[in-house]
Structure 1
Amino acid sequence: MTIKTKRRADYMPPAFTISDVKMDVVLHPTAARITSYLTVKRLGNHHEKLILDGEKLVLNSVKIDGKITQDYEQTDSSLSIPNVPNSFQLEVITTIDPENNKALEGLYLSSGVYCTQCEAEGFRRITYFLDRPDVLATYEVTLHGNKNKYPTLLANGNPIARGEGDNGSHWVTWQDPHPKPCYLFAMVAGDFDVLTDEYTTTSGRKVALELYVDKGKKARGPFALESLKRAMKWDEDTYGLEYDLDIYMIVAVDFFNMGAMENKGLNIFNSKFVLADQNSATDEDFFNVESVIAHEYFHNWTGNRVTCRDWFQLSLKEGLTVFRDQQFSADMTSPLSNRIKHVRVMREHQFAEDASAMSHPIRPDEVMEMNNFYTVTVYDKGAEVIRMLHTLLGKKKFRKGMDEYFRRHDGQAVTCDDFVAAMQSVTELDLSHFALWYSQSGTPLITVSHQYDETAKRMSVTLSQHTPKTADQSVKRPLFMPVAFDCIDSKGNHYQDDEQRVKNNMLLLNEPSVTLQFSDVTSALIPVVLGNFSAPAKVKNPLPSEDLLAIFRFARDAFNRWDALQQLYDWCIEQYALGKPEAVTASIWDGLKEVVEREAQNHELLGECLVIPSFETLCQSRSLVDVEQLRQARRAFCQDFAQELATPLLTVYKNIHTGDYEYTLEAVNARRCRNVVLNHLARLPQGQELVCKQFNSSDNMTDTMGALKAAQHGDKEQFEKLLASFEQQWREEPLVLDKWFALHATQERDDILSHITLLREHPQFSIGNPNRVRALIGSFAFYNTAGFHAIDGSGYKFVTDYLLMLDKTNPQVAARIVTPLTQWQNYAPVYQEKMKVQLGRLLNEKGLSRDLFEKVSKSLAYDTPSQ
C-alpha cells in the first residue's frame, strides 16, 4: 500500500473559496439525496481547475450558474472541474447510503437516528466540497424526512422555516449566520425526548437550551443541562465570552466514534457523556458529563469562532480547550483531584506515546491519516503547554492575551504561531524559546543531583534537562519550562537559594542545567522538584524513603505530598521486582501507617495517596520491561500493603459514612476514599464480606462499581456471582452494560480469551457499537496486563484477529485499539518479537485502512533510538 504523506510545510492557501452554502437534504436509509448550492470564488490570479473532495458518493449532476455541465473528472476521492469562472454558483447533486455507512463518518443511520460526524474529513462523504478547515462559509440547510419516524430535524444555527411535505414528510430550514469550516457542519434526524431550559447571558440575551435524548432517558438529562449553564456562566465570568446564537442544542446518541463534537450550535454527544443519575452513573461519570459538556461549549470560541488554518494546528483548538475545561472542572470540584487526574493521563498514556513510533510534537509535521491526529499529545500535552503559558504570564496577563487573540482573529482560521504571538503581545517575556514546545517532540527528563558540604554547611542542587531522541526527531534542544521547586529539611523547614533564582517557588529552566546554592544549612536538604506537574516532564530525583516520607509530612503543596508517595510506591515495587521485598523495611510500613492515620479525615488526599501506581505508569519509569516480573512485583506489593496496613485501613473504611447519595465534593471524596480502601481490603480474607455487604446495600452506581472492582482482587467465584447479579439488573441499559463488559475484560483468568470470545456472542454486543467494542476489546488490550501480554503471544494475536475484522467497518476505532501493540519497544525482547509478528500480520492485510496502515507501518519501521 502506498499512501501519500501530508506535510505541514507543504501548506498552500486554497485556490478557491466557498462563501455561502445552501443544502437540500432528502433523507432516505440507502439513497439520501443531497443538493448543494455553493457560492464559489477564485482566489488570486490563476487558471487552476476547481478540485473538490468527495468519497463514497454517487454523483447525479453538476450545474454551473444554472447550466448542466459534463466537463468534469471524477475519481474515488475528488471531483475536478476545469475552466470555471472567477465567481459562480455551483450546484451538485449526490446520493449517499447512510444505513451502510458503518465507519460512522459523514452522514450515517444507526439505531433509527440519522447523525453526522464531519471532523476531520467526514463532510466529503456527504457532498463534494473543499473539505479543509481554512474554507469558511455560511450555511442554510433544509432537511426533509418522514414526520412519524423523524419528527425531529436539526442542523446548525437557528430554525428559520418549517412545513409539511408529500407522503407524510415534513421539512425544517436552519440558518447559521457565522462562517464556519465544513468540519463543524451537523445534521440529526430522529425521534427523541427533549429537555428544554433557558440561559440569560451577561448582556441580557436569552438563549434557548435543548437536550435531545433517546426515548425513556429524559430523567437522566437534567445534570447535563445544569452543567451546560454552569459552563456558560463560567466562560462569561472567566474569559468574558458569551454565546452567539439564539439556541444551543445537544443530541445524545449511542453510536458515535468520539466522545462529543462541537458542531456550531448543535453538539452531538456520545450518550455516555450526557446521561447520568445516581443509579446508573458513577461519580466519575458525573464528572465526565460536566467536563465534556463544558469542553464542547468552550469550543464555541476556541475552535469555532477562531478555528484552525490546517489540521496540523489541531492543538490550537484542542490543547487550549482542554486547558479551559480543566480550569472549569477545578473550579467546579477540586484543584487537587483534577490535577492528579490529568497527570495520571500524561504519565500513563502521553509519555508512552512520546516514547513510541507515533511520537510527534503537539503541532505535528506530517501525517498520513488525519484521524490519527486525535492523540493525547495534541490534546493533553497541548493543554500542559497552555498551562505553562498561564504559569509564566500569570492569570491577568493570560486573560489579556486571550482577549487579544479573539480581537485579532475572530472569524478566522489561524495557526499556533498566531496564538503565541497574541500572548507575546501582552508580556515582556520573550516567548520565542518557549515556542519550541510546539515543534519538538518527546518527554524531557529533569535529572536532579545534589551535594552537601558538611564543613562549609553548603548545599548545591543541580537540575539538568535532556530530551531523548524520538522516532521523528534525533536532534533535541533545551526547552523553556517553569519548574516548581522547593527545598526542605527533615524537620520541614523551607530554604531559599542564595541567588534567589527560585521566585515564588518557581524556577525558570531554560538552559541545559542550572545549579542552586544554599548556605548556612546544618544538614542535607531535600529538593522537591516539579510540584503540581508544572511542566510535562519526567523527573529523576532519587531520594531515600525517609526523605519521601518527609516530603509527604511537610511539603506545602498537597500535590507534592501525593507525588512523594507515588515515588515511594514505585521504589518499593522495584525492590520486589529485584527479589528484595525485605528492602521495604518496617520503618517504611510504619511511615505508611502514619500516612493513613494522620490523614484519616482528609478523604480527598488520602483517597488519592492510597492509589498504587498503575502498571502502565510504572512502565514509563522503566525500559525493556519484563511484563510478568513487574506485574507480579506490583501484585505482591499490593498484597503486602493490604496486609501491613489492614488495621488502619479497616478503621478508615468503617468510619466513613456517606449517607444518602449526593453529588457534592465532600461526598464524592468520601466515597472515593472508601472504595480505594475497599480495593485494598478485598485482597484479604476478611475483605470478602465487606465487598458483598457494600454491593448488596449500595444505593448508587459508584459504590456498586467500587465493590465490583474490589471483588476482582478476591475470590473469583464470588466475583462471578456479583457480576451475574449486576447483569441481571442492568442488561437493558447500554451504558451500564458497558461497565459490565469492561469488568469481564480486565479480570485475570486463565481462560480469558475464550471468555471474551463468548462475550462477543452476547446479544447486547455489536461490532458496530464503538462504546461496546471499546469496553470489551479496548479494555482488554489497554488494561488486562496478564491477558494481553501473555508470554505465548496469544493476547496479541487475539486483539490482532479482532482488529482485522473491525478495520473493515470502523477504521477510526481500530486505529485507537491498536495503540498498545504499537508500543512494543518498551518491553523486553521476548514480548517485542511477538508483538511485531502481529503488527506484521496487520501490515500484510490487503485493503488495510489508512488509519491502521499509518500506525502499523511506522511502528514496524521504528528503530529504538540510542540516547
Structure 2
Amino acid sequence: MSAPQATYLADYRPPAYRVTHTELAFELDPSATRVKAGLQLERHPEYEAGESLWLDGEQLKLLSLAIDGRVLGEHEYQLNEQGLSIANVPERFLLETEVEISPEDNTALEGLYRSGSMFCTQCEAEGFRRITFYPDRPDVMATFSTTVIGDATRDPVLLSNGNPTQRGELADGRHFVTWQDPHPKPSYLFALVAGDLHRVEDSFTTMSGRKVALEIWVEKENLGKTDHAMVSLKHAMRWDEQTYGREYDLDLFMIVAVNDFNMGAMENKGLNIFNSAAVLAHPDTATDAAFQRVESIVAHEYFHNWSGNRVTCRDWFQLSLKEGFTVFRDQSFSADMNSAAVKRIEDVSFFRTAQFAEDAGPTAHPVRPDHYIQIGNFYTLTIYEKGAELVRMLYHLAGPEAFRQGSDLYFARFDGQAVTIEDFVDCMAEASGQDFSQFMRWYGQAGTPEIDAHGEYDYANAEYRLILRQRTPATPGQLDKQALHIPIRLGLVGSKSGSDLPLTLGGQSLGSESVIHLCDDEQTFVFTDVHEAPVVSLLRGQSAPVKLHMPYSREDLAFLLVNDSDDFNRWDAGQRLSMLALEDLIAAHRNGVEKVMDSRLSDAFRQLLEEGSGDKAVLAEMLTLPSEAYIAEQQIRVDVDAIHAAREFVRQSLARELRDLWLAVYQANQSDEPYAPTAQQVGQRQLKNVALSYLMSQPDDGVVALAQRQFEAAANMTDVRHALTLLVHGDHEAVSAPALKAFGHKWAHDPLVMDQWFNIQVTRPQADALDRVRFLMEHPAFSLTNPNKVRALIGGFAQNRINFHRLDGEGYRLVADVVIELNRLNPEIAARIITPLTRWQRFDETRQALMKAELERIQAQPLSANVYEVVEMALA
C-alpha cells in the first residue's frame, strides 16, 4: 500500500466549482440504497475556463451521470477510489448523478449507515462523499432539498434537515417526505434518519415571538428518558438569546438518539443526531455526571447553530473556530446552570490530565494544525479543550462587553460564510480596540507553556516583587518557540489576615484581584503598598492553559487551601499539597524505604471536613486526590507501580486517620428527597460518595455493609453505581459477586447501563481485570462494531493503569489486537483506542519495549489512513 498523503494548510485554494443548490432523492434499502443528486454548479471566479470538475466519492457504485440532461459516456469522465473528475464542463450547469450504496455494510459509521433497524448519517468531517459524488469540503455551501423514500412499515419516520414541505404515499407500500433547508450549508451538516421512531414534543417561543416546534425522536423503549434533554434544550435556547442574542432560525428543531455513533453528537442543521448516551437520561439508569453531560452536549450542539452552522469553517484546519468557541459557550452555560466553581474545576482537571498529555506526546499539534493525513484524527482535546481555553482568554482580555460586541460583529459580518480563525479574532480586536497579533501565536504553536514564578517580599519598602519566566518545550516539528501573551489572574493573600490585600502596580490601584500580562520571556511585577507578608495566589481560575511552577512551601499551600478567596485556587492548592506528599511517597516506594504520611495533608483535610463548605460539590472536589493519570503527567519517567502504591497509601492513611469525620459526613448527607439533578443535590451526593470511597479504602464489616445497603436501597443510579464500584474494586467477593450479577441481570435490556456494568469490572485494580475484559468481549451485550461498547470495555481497561501496564505486556497486546480488528471495521475508533500505546516513551525500558513492539505489530498491517497517521507519529 502506498503511504497516505498529507494535506497542508499552506496549499489551500477555494474550490474550482461551487454548488449553489443541491437536490437529493434517497430510495432507502439496507443493502442497496439509491441516491439521486442534482447539483447546480458554477465556476469559481478565481479559476479560468476549462478547469476540470472534481467531486469526492468513496465506496459509491455509479449508475448514471449527466450534465444539463445529457448522459455522459465513460470516456468523458475519470473515476477512481477517491472520486470523480470531469473535464470540459460549462461555467454554470446542472450535474445529475445516481449511485448505489450499502448502508448495512458501512461499519465505519460514516456517511449513510444502519444502527440496528434505523438508517442514519454522520457526515462530519468527510462522510458525505460516501453518500454521493460531491465537493465534500466545508467552504462549499449550498441550499438543500431532500426527498426521502422508505418502506412505510419498516421506516415510518423519514427525517432530514430543515422544514418538511411535502409528504405522501406511494403505490408500492412506500412513502416519502421532502425537506427544504433554506440556509446554505456545507455537506458535512447534511443529515438523514429513517426508522421506527417515536416522538416527544414540546415548543419554544423565541425572543421575537416565533413558536418553534421541538422534537426528540427515540426508539419506543426510550420514551421515558428524554425529559432532561428537552429541559436542557429549552434552557440552552433561552440562554443563547440572553447571553449572545442568538435566536433559532427554523420552525422545527429535532434531536434523534442513535445507538451506534462514533461521536457524542452532531449539529446537523435542524436535525441533531446524538449518540444515545448523550441524550437519554433517567434517575434509575443515569448518574449525575451523565445528566450533566446530557445538558452540556445538548447545549453544545444547539449553540453550533450559529457558531458552526450559520458561520462555518473555511477548511478543516480551522476546526477550532467552531469547536473551541462552542465548547467555551457550553462551558459557560453549564457554569450558569450549576456550580460555576465546580464546573471550572472539572474542566481544568480534565484538560490538565488529558490535553496536557496530548501536548507532551508524539501527536502534539497546534490548535490550528498546519497539516494532517486524516482529519478525523484531529478531533482532539487540543482542538476542543485547548481551543476553548484560548477563547476564554480572549473573553477576559477583551472584557465581557467587548467580547459580546465582537461575537455580534462576527455573526453579522460572516453569516452564511465559511471563514478562518483570523476572522474571529479580528472581530474581537475590532470590538475591544486591542492588538491580538501576539495572541495569535497560541493558535500556531503546539505544546503547553510553562511558567516559572518566584516572589519576594520586601518588608522595609512594603513591596512584593513577582518574577515570571515563560517557556514552551519543543514538540514534534516545532523546536523553537516564541513568547506568548499569557494573562495571569492573581491576588495577594495576607499571611496574617487571611484576606486578599489591595493591589497597586505601577502606581495604579487594581482592587483586590487583577490580571497581569506576561508577554516577554521574563518580566518582573512590583506591587507596592503591601503592608503584610503575602502568599501569592497565581493563575486564579486557570486564567491560561499553562503549567505553573511556583516554589510554594507546604505551609503556604495549606494556608491557601483554607484562606484563598478563589474556590478554584483553593482546590488547586490542595492538589499541589497532595502532589508534594505523593512525590515523597513515590520516591520512598522506589527506594524501598518506609512510607510516612505527611501530617500537613492530613491536618488540611481534617480542617476542611470540620469546617465544611457552603458548596458541597466544591468541598468534594477539594477532598479528592489527584488521579493516577494526573500524577503520571507530573513525572519525567512514569513509574506505574510507585504511583499506584503511593496514592493508595495516602487514601488509606486519610481513611484511617479521619474515619469518624468521613462517617459523619456520609451520614449527614443522606437524603430521602426525590431525585433531581440540581446543583445542591448533586453536591450532596458527591460529598457523601467521596466519604464512602475513603471509608471503603480501609473497610471493616460495618463499612462494607454500609456500601451494600447503599447499593440495594438507593433510588438513583449515581448512588447505586458508586456503591457497586466500591464493592467490585475492593476485595469483597462474597458481597460484590452477587451484587454484580444482580445488576447485570436487572439491566440486561438497557445498552447504556450495561456499558456501565462493563466499565466497573474492567477498571478494578485487581489482577483479574484483563481476564474479565477477555471474558466480557464474548458477552452477548458487547459488540466490537458499537463505539460505546468499545469505549466502555476496551477504553475503560486502557485507563486502568495498573493493569493495562502489566509487566508481561498482555494489556498492550489485547488493545493492539482490538486496534487491528477495528482498523478494518471502524478506523476512526481504532485511531482513538490506540492513543494509550502512543505514550510509550514516558515509561520504563521494559514497558517501552513492550509498547513499541505492539505499535510495530500494528504498523506491519494494511492500515487505514486514520491508524497509519497515529502510528507513524508515535514511532517517529
Q: TM-score, normalised by structure 1?
A: 0.97
- Taking a change above 3 Å as real, the CA distance of residues 587 and 313 of structure 1, as seen in their structure-2 partners, is closer
Report which stretch shifted further, 172-181 or 712-721: 712-721
Report which stretch shifted further, 456-465 or 170-179: 456-465
**Residue 513 (structure 1) aligns with:** 522
**Residue 562 (structure 1) aligns with:** 571
Q: Equivalent residues in 2 for 1:425-464 (5 A)?
A: 425-453=430-458, 458-464=463-469
**Residue 63 of structure 1 is aligned with which of 60, 63, 66?**
66
**Separation (CA, whole Å) in 2 of partners of 1:437 and 1:764:** 44
Report the residue type matching 1:674 in the other structure: K
**Residue 506 (structure 2) aligns with:** 499
- 1:620-659: CA deviation from partner (whole Å, max 9, x where unpaired): 2221111111121112111112112212111111111322
Pairwise CA distance, 1:591 = 2.6
**Separation (CA, whole Å) in 2 of partners of 1:272 and 1:279:** 14
Question: Is 2:617 the counterpart of 1:604?
Answer: yes
Report which stretch shifted further, 448-457 or 292-301: 448-457
Pairwise CA distance, 1:198 = 1.0
Question: Is 2:748 the counterpart of 1:743?
Answer: no
Question: Is 2:875 the counterpart of 1:860?
Answer: yes
**Residue 698 (structure 2) aligns with:** 684
Pairwise CA distance, 1:524 = 4.8
**Residue 672 (structure 1) aligns with:** 686
Report the residue type matching 2:778 in the other structure: E
For the 8 Å contact 1:144–1:169, the answer to whether it is kept is: yes
- 1:764-805: CA deviation from partner (whole Å, max 9, x where unpaired): 111111101110001111x20111111222111111011111
- 1:741-773: CA deviation from partner (whole Å, max 9, x where unpaired): 011110122232222111011011111111011
**Residue 539 of structure 2 is aligned with which of 524, 530, 534?**
530
Question: Is 2:203 the counterpart of 1:163?
Answer: no
- Taking a change above 3 Å as real, the CA distance of residues 142 and 456 of structure 1, as seen in their structure-2 partners, is closer
Report the residue type matching 2:121 in the other structure: T
Report which stretch shifted further, 260-269 or 577-586: 577-586
**Separation (CA, whole Å) in 1 of partners of 2:351 and 2:294:** 21
**Residue 833 of structure 1 is aligned with which of 838, 849, 855?**
849
Q: Equivalent residues in 2 for 1:809-824 (5 A)?
A: 809-824=825-840
Structure 2 SS opposite 1:562: helix
**Residue 51 (structure 1) aligns with:** 54
Question: Is 2:770 the counterpart of 1:757?
Answer: no
**Residue 258 (structure 1) aligns with:** 263
**Residue 185 of structure 2 is aligned with which of 180, 184, 192?**
180
**Separation (CA, whole Å) in 2 of partners of 1:539 and 1:819:** 26
**Residue 662 (structure 1) aligns with:** 676
**Separation (CA, whole Å) in 1 of partners of 2:725 and 2:509:** 44
Report which stretch shifted further, 112-121 or 503-512: 503-512
**Separation (CA, whole Å) in 2 of partners of 1:4 and 1:780:** 33
**Residue 865 (structure 1) aligns with:** none
Pairwise CA distance, 1:32 = 0.4
Structure 2 SS opposite 1:859: helix
Structure 1 SS opposite 2:94: strand
**Separation (CA, whole Å) in 2 of partners of 1:68 and 1:653:** 75
**Separation (CA, whole Å) in 1 of partners of 2:300 and 2:866:** 26
Question: Is 2:797 the counterpart of 1:780?
Answer: yes
**Separation (CA, whole Å) in 2 of partners of 1:251 and 1:538:** 40
Structure 2 SS opposite 1:764: coil
Pairwise CA distance, 1:710 = 2.4
**Residue 307 (structure 2) aligns with:** 302
**Separation (CA, whole Å) in 2 of partners of 1:385 and 1:480:** 11
**Residue 356 (structure 1) aligns with:** 361
- Taking a change above 3 Å as real, the CA distance of residues 633 and 130 of structure 1, as seen in their structure-2 partners, is same
**Residue 693 of structure 1 is aligned with which of 700, 703, 709?**
709
Report the residue type matching 2:599 in the other structure: A
**Residue 791 of structure 1 is aligned with which of 779, 803, 807?**
807
**Residue 719 of structure 1 is aligned with which of 736, 739, 742?**
736
**Separation (CA, whole Å) in 2 of partners of 1:571 and 1:678:** 25
Q: Equivalent residues in 2 for 1:20-99 (5 A)?
A: 20-44=21-45, 45-70=48-73, 71-99=76-104
- 1:597-640: CA deviation from partner (whole Å, max 9, x where unpaired): 11166412211111111111112222111111112111211111
- 1:119-162: CA deviation from partner (whole Å, max 9, x where unpaired): 00000000000000000011101111100110000010000001
Report which stretch shifted further, 33-42 or 639-648: 639-648
For the 8 Å contact 1:683–1:713, the answer to whether it is kept is: no
Structure 2 SS opposite 1:487: strand
Pairwise CA distance, 1:505 = 2.1
Question: Is 2:647 the counterpart of 1:625?
Answer: no
For the 8 Å contact 2:19–2:42, the answer to whether it is kept is: yes
Question: Is 2:807 the counterpart of 1:770?
Answer: no
Report which stretch shifted further, 580-589 or 604-613: 580-589
**Residue 634 of structure 1 is aligned with which of 629, 647, 660?**
647
- 1:700-733: CA deviation from partner (whole Å, max 9, x where unpaired): 0011112122224432403333221211111110
For the 8 Å contact 1:116–1:188, the answer to whether it is kept is: yes
Q: Equivalent residues in 2 for 1:278-317 (5 A)?
A: 278-317=283-322
Pairwise CA distance, 1:522 = 7.2
- Taking a change above 3 Å as real, the CA distance of residues 713 and 547 of structure 1, as seen in their structure-2 partners, is farther
> Runs of 5+ in structure 1 lacking a partner?
862-867
Pairwise CA distance, 1:453 = 5.0
Pairwise CA distance, 1:454 = 5.7
**Residue 822 of structure 2 is aligned with which of 806, 811, 830?**
806
**Residue 864 (structure 1) aligns with:** none
Pairwise CA distance, 1:519 = 5.2
> How many residues are paired up?
859
Structure 2 SS opposite 1:486: strand
Report which stretch shifted further, 315-324 or 814-823: 814-823
For the 8 Å contact 2:281–2:290, the answer to whether it is kept is: yes
Report which stretch shifted further, 176-185 or 281-290: 281-290
Report the residue type matching 2:157 in the other structure: T
Report which stretch shifted further, 508-517 or 606-615: 508-517
**Residue 864 (structure 2) aligns with:** 849
**Residue 236 of structure 1 is aligned with which of 238, 241, 265?**
241
- Taking a change above 3 Å as real, the CA distance of residues 428 and 68 of structure 1, as seen in their structure-2 partners, is same
Report which stretch shifted further, 717-726 or 583-592: 583-592
Report which stretch shifted further, 310-319 or 818-827: 818-827
- Taking a change above 3 Å as real, the CA distance of residues 459 and 242 of structure 1, as seen in their structure-2 partners, is closer
Aligned-pair identity in percent equals 46
- Taking a change above 3 Å as real, the CA distance of residues 822 and 181 of structure 1, as seen in their structure-2 partners, is same
**Separation (CA, whole Å) in 2 of partners of 1:417 and 1:636:** 50
Structure 2 SS opposite 1:533: coil
**Residue 2 (structure 1) aligns with:** 3
For the 8 Å contact 2:65–2:97, the answer to whether it is kept is: yes
Report the residue type matching 2:105 in the other structure: N
Structure 2 SS opposite 1:681: helix
